[in-house]
Amino acid sequence: MTTQALERAATGEEGAKELRVSANLKQIDRVRGFLKDATADLPFDEQDRLKIELALHEICVNIVRYAYPRGRKGEMIVRIWRDGGSLFIEVRDKGIPFNPVRKKNPDLMVKLRRGVPGGLGVYFFKTLMDGLSYRRAGGQNILTVRKVL
């Protein structure tokens, strides 16, 4: 699915469920519970459920750590919906603009040789999901990821 198709899907999400939480690590378990409740009736196997959960976890951790620097408080808005044969998850924040679509994938062998921890969150959610799009609108980062049912 193209970026434009993901963005079109985001505008017409029928039956979307939404959660608004403060951007801090203590809220990530709440987001995880929201995801589990919102997707409980969808036909994903355990492996895909874990991929979706890890992807959303990494997105939220990145927002908490990097979107609101120097102790600035903010929030995350998570929307989940199904459209056709796909699950969509949209995450919004009003933090520093950041487009993960443009971030180059790391050289994993170099990272392993150097032993430097971190820096794989964006790579994880880009590779665990079946599509993603980003846009900046109304002062918000709007990231939409998709997983085929």
Asked if 142 and 90 touch (Cβ cutoff 8 Å), the reply is yes
Q: How far apart are CA 28 and CA 61, in angstroms?
A: 8
pLDDT of residue 103: 73
Strand residue runs (E) in the chain: 17-22, 75-83, 86-93, 131-137, 140-148
pLDDT by residue, tens only, the chain of 149 residues? 444 444 444 445 668 999 999 999 999 999 999 999 999 999 999 999 999 999 999 999 999 999 998 878 999 999 999 998 999 999 999 999 998 887 776 665 665 667 666 665 576 788 889 999 999 999 999 999 999 99
* CATH code, domain carrying 32: 3.30.565.10
Q: How far apart are CA 7 and CA 20, in angstroms?
A: 20
Number of domains, the chain? 1
Asked if 112 and 80 touch (Cβ cutoff 8 Å), the reply is no
Residue in 88, 24, 96 with CA at minimum distance from that of residue 56: 88
- Structural domain containing residue 97: 3-148
Sign of CA dihedral 18, 2, 41, 63: negative
